[in-house]
Structure 1
Amino acid sequence: MVDNKLCLLLLLTVAMSKAQDEGAPCLMAKRYKPFNKYEYFYETESLNALNGAVNGPKASCKVEIAAPGTCSFIVRTTDCTLSEVIDVDADGKPVFGAAAGAEDFKTAMERRPLKFTVEGDDDIKLFPEEDELINILNIKRGIISALAVPVLEEDRNEDMPTIYGLCKTDYVVNTREDVATEVTLRRDLSDCDKFRPVEDHTSPLALISGMNYPLAQLIRSNQTCNYKFNNEQHHMTSGTCTEKHVLALFSHK
């Protein structure tokens, strides 16, 4: 059995916003107010397990998202690290060490900002520099997809737009003040209307490599996300998503 577990973590460190979000033309304008900057710590890892052996990469970056105008954004990534599993401890947890090419990864992630615009709930258009490497662009795409938090309106919870397509979503409000301040989402990704686990850009973490289409159809995938929001300004303060991808070919369970 191949069991891929992917996790991401974003922690808000700075957020400055006083503007009201009434009538915002896109979802992210409600979360990230024009003329403000927000800073996050982003971490993602992909663990592949087969017959007790564990391997996979781990990456982290400081992320700044600036909003120079309504529904227009600029993402900058700095202080990036890249590591990989080098051992497993006594509890079976992976031990990470510096990966080959870590300095090149750091330089490439810092070299260019990524501009993007948003229309409505999920129509995100990227405007990368011409010389941006595709693997670096995919990592930044994963960061943006993590920042594009879901619509939190009761009549729109069952089918939510994601980068996997339109997904039926089990939506639970854990804490509510004036707005929902902590929510948990659960999805069977295999049931999303456009789910294709064969393209690099489909993973929110941008770490799943491509595979041939017939083999990809044997993958069962699910996702669980927990988000926390600021009650007054409505921006996301933290988010954690875990995905599990099981290759059914090697599993009878």
Structure 2
Amino acid sequence: MEVDKIIRLRSNLCLWTAPPEYSGRGRRRIHGRKFKLLDESTWDEPAQTIELEDEKLGRLKIRLWYELHLRKSPLHPMSVILVERLKPDGSKRIAKPMWLAFIGKSMPSCTEIFQYYLRRFGVDHWYRFAKQRLHWTLPKLSTPEQSDRWSDLMPLITWQLWLARDIVKDNPLPWQKTAPKLTPGRVAQSIGAILAVIHTPAKPPKLRGKSPGWKPEQTRKRRINYPVVKKRTTTRTKKQPQPA
């Protein structure tokens, strides 16, 4: 996909630098030197080093390297960023450093790129809230258009819960403590009282009568049946020892 991507790398990964220029003999080299994230002796001089003070994280040290790649993808270079939290005296903290990789065309500055990555935690929590509390993936819809309309309701419902947080009264469950600031989940738990006052915009149901039935000139279409996707987990059977 032609989009800018920020990816977190595991700390024991081994990367490779760009290969040197062709010497004129033999096969061209694909990889350069090893760049082990755990071994600082294999690191090259960073292209950029910045130290800054963050309001929440404290003092940070950010280093940047260009043109690194994985062993199986030498044709896809990436920029690697190391974010370290420092003590007030400048020494490293016990917390593990955070390695990030940027793949794309327009790379943001080092002071912004790690903040973009930290925003993913709020996004991940929203996806979890939409699936578990708003039942995003619960309906079994028939067409992609129906799925799109149902998905469009999720952010609208979230904004309604967010705007109603100041007018609802907290209604905790017996095992929950009172919260000074209500989360969207707690607002959804207490918004029933507001809905009972403002009522629903839907029209009241009509009385049951004789249905006019299906029009004779109207053609019917059968519902499309899609193949069922089954996932099977293979269990390894232990070999029985053969008698001697």
- TM-score past 0.5 threshold: no
More helix by share: 2
TM-score by length of 2: 0.21
Which is greater in Rg? 2
More strand by share: 1
TM-score by length of 1: 0.21
**Higher RCO structure (Cα 8 Å, ≥6 apart):** 1
